[in-house]
Amino acid sequence: MISLTSPVETRAHHWPAGPKLVALCLATALLFMTPGLWPPLLALAGAAGLYLAGGGRFARAGLRALRPLWPLVLVLALWHGLTADWAEGLRIVARFSAAVALANLVTMTTRLADMIDALNTLLRPVARLGLNTRALELAMALTIRFTPILAQKGQLLAQSWRARSPRRTNWHLVLPLGILALDDAEHVAEALRARGGVIPPAKSPPVREDN
């Protein structure tokens, strides 16, 4: 899930988060279970139609959020071009792009608090078994929140590179971006420890009153 909630209101913003997440899971499973080329192409066309249904501004924001996919799409296309298996490469690219586009659409039309509440409801049977579900809920929230932040820091690193060097940006930015990610993770971990972590507090035994 690449972006945060879009400020452009659409009808999908008013749909419940739980059904949207369930529909996303089912659609992704069907995408990767259905053979052939036409199902992922139809799913990709359907995702494009859903973006366009939200208006031009919403569709452009969704397209900008999907820009990080282009390097991976290019690598897959080059690889399958070298192996002379264009049909398989197109099927993989369409399937992967449709899955990410649908996930991004759900993220753009669902508030983070609503997604966490839906996840909490879905995990309630697991929580009754005594398992800690707070870690999973927190991991989901942090992933959605920090993905655009890391993308923005990557853009700032690329701009700094272009300001200091006439050469194009390359793999040398991977190390500083990784260091920034680790630094952010350390700060988040310290903040979580300061607030008690993700382990729920143990229930204290009842106090007995002696007569």
Question: What does each of the 211 residues of the chain score in pLDDT, given as a tens digit?
Answer: 444 678 788 888 888 888 898 899 899 999 888 888 888 889 889 999 989 988 888 888 888 878 777 777 777 777 777 776 777 778 888 888 888 899 889 888 988 788 878 877 877 777 777 777 777 777 777 777 777 777 778 778 888 878 887 777 666 777 887 888 888 888 887 887 787 766 655 554 555 555 4
Contacts of 59 (CB under 8 A, 6+ apart): 51, 52
At residue 210's C-alpha, the angle toward residues 205 and 211, to 5°, is 145
| pTM of the entire predicted model | 0.66
